[in-house]
Structure 1
Amino acid sequence: MTTAAMPTGAKMQHLVDSSGAAQEPAADMADLAEVIRTLMAVEARTDTRVRLGRNLFDVVITSSGLQARATVAVMDQVQGRCGPVIEDPERGWLYWLVPPGSSALWEPHSHAVCLGAPHTITLPSLNRRVPPGPYWFRPSASDRLVPTRPLRDALAHFRPEPTPHAELAARLGIAT
């Protein structure tokens, strides 16, 4: 029997039965709740660990030397102000926040590594703009991420050293 042919009470029961358990959130709502909690923690001035990928961002990792800073200057021109970049002075790295899914499309690069899911990153609180510890070299803005094609081209031109490949491979057990 189609739902159109069902009596009204049976239609209601069919809707209730097909909607799932009352206390079971939809899978995408659990992800959304996690994202909201994460963003609220960052805004509340708390360092927060987030999973890469999904609907947030992936990350490109480079050194933070002079060549990388020249790349930031180019991206400032490309974007009118570079999208979000975190500097980790202890490791000597920059973390460029790029669109989600970038890691799946990223081809090997001699001066940068792109990571997405299942990896994580700790975002510094939004007000951290200077060391100690990781800080926002270019603050996060809700309206932009760093575009991968211009970033990739600028990194190929400036060739920031030392590259993060070996250290990341050792730390994460990944092939870069």
Structure 2
Amino acid sequence: MGDLATRVQNLMALTRGRPACLPLGGALFDVVATASGDAARAIVHLLDDVQLDGCGPVIEDPVRSWLYWLVPPGTSERWEPHQYAICLGRPHQIVLPPLAQADPPGAYWLRPFKSDRLVPPLPLRGFLDTFQPAPAPHEVLLAAELRAM
């Protein structure tokens, strides 16, 4: 029960203009991480056309130069390895920026979080194959791990 209370408190923080740490997977969402930049922004604009009322929620982290695409829960279990993206679900967590944060500094909503939609993983994957945003997040993560050794 404490886990549920923590999740509710974290969601309430978002509505009060504070960041919130939420678990991936479960009933909420998973995350696909890609590089940001021109190639990734082209994908956002294409998904604006694919999805009714625009692309689902995307967070931009300008410090790390990554985009985080919120996709349906369970996507990480079906996501095959991809050269230009990594998909994370359980047991990982993500810190979401406040709902009203649409600009830097810090991570912000490039496309807003709306309760009625997430980014569809199949079109996203197809566009990633076509536009190839680089560097791939797993390369960056590996490089960071190697530097830490």
Q: TM-score, normalised by structure 1?
A: 0.78
Instruction: Report the alpha carbon displacement of residue 45 of structure 1 after superposing the two structures with TM.
Output: 0.5
Q: Which residue pairs with 2:38 in the alignment?
A: 66
Segments of 5+ residues of structure 2 without an aligned counterpart are: none
Query: What are the equivalent positions in structure 2 for 1:131-142 lying under 5 Å apart?
Result: 131-142=104-115
Tell me, in whole angstroms, the C-alpha distance in 2 between the residues paired with 1:91 and 1:141: 24
Tell me, in whole angstroms, the C-alpha distance in 1 between the residues paired with 2:9 and 2:96: 13
Tell me, in whole angstroms, the C-alpha distance in 2 between the residues paired with 1:113 and 1:79: 22
RMSD across aligned C-alpha pairs, in angstroms? 1.6
**AA in 2 matched with 1:79:** Q
Please say which structure displays the higher CA radius of gyration.
Answer: 1
Which has the larger displacement, 138-147 or 164-173?
A: 164-173
Q: Which residue pairs with 1:127 in the alignment?
A: 100
Q: Which residue pairs with 2:20 in the alignment?
A: 48
Instruction: Report the alpha carbon displacement of residue 49 of structure 1 after superposing the two structures with TM.
Output: 1.1
Query: Could you say what secondary structure the match of 2:141 adopts?
Result: helix
Give % identity.
Answer: 56
Q: Which residue pairs with 1:24 in the alignment?
A: none
**AA in 1 matched with 2:116:** D
Query: Could you say what secondary structure the match of 2:34 adopts?
Result: strand
Segments of 5+ residues of structure 1 without an aligned counterpart are: 1-28
Query: What are the equivalent positions in structure 2 for 1:147-158 lying under 5 Å apart?
Result: 147-158=120-131
Tell me, in whole angstroms, the C-alpha distance in 2 between the residues paired with 1:42 and 1:116: 20
Q: Deviations over 1:64-101 (max 9, x none)?
A: 11000000011111112000000000100000000111
Higher relative contact order (CA closer than 8 Å, sequence separation 6+): 2
Tell me, in whole angstroms, the C-alpha distance in 1 between the residues paired with 2:3 and 2:123: 30
Q: Which residue pairs with 1:107 in the alignment?
A: 80
Instruction: Report the alpha carbon displacement of residue 51 of structure 1 after superposing the two structures with TM.
Output: 1.1
**AA in 2 matched with 1:61:** A
Q: Which residue pairs with 2:7 in the alignment?
A: 35
Q: Which residue pairs with 2:89 in the alignment?
A: 116
Moved over 4 A (4+): 170-173
Correspondent of 2:58 among 85, 95, 99:
85
Correspondent of 2:135 among 157, 162, 173:
162
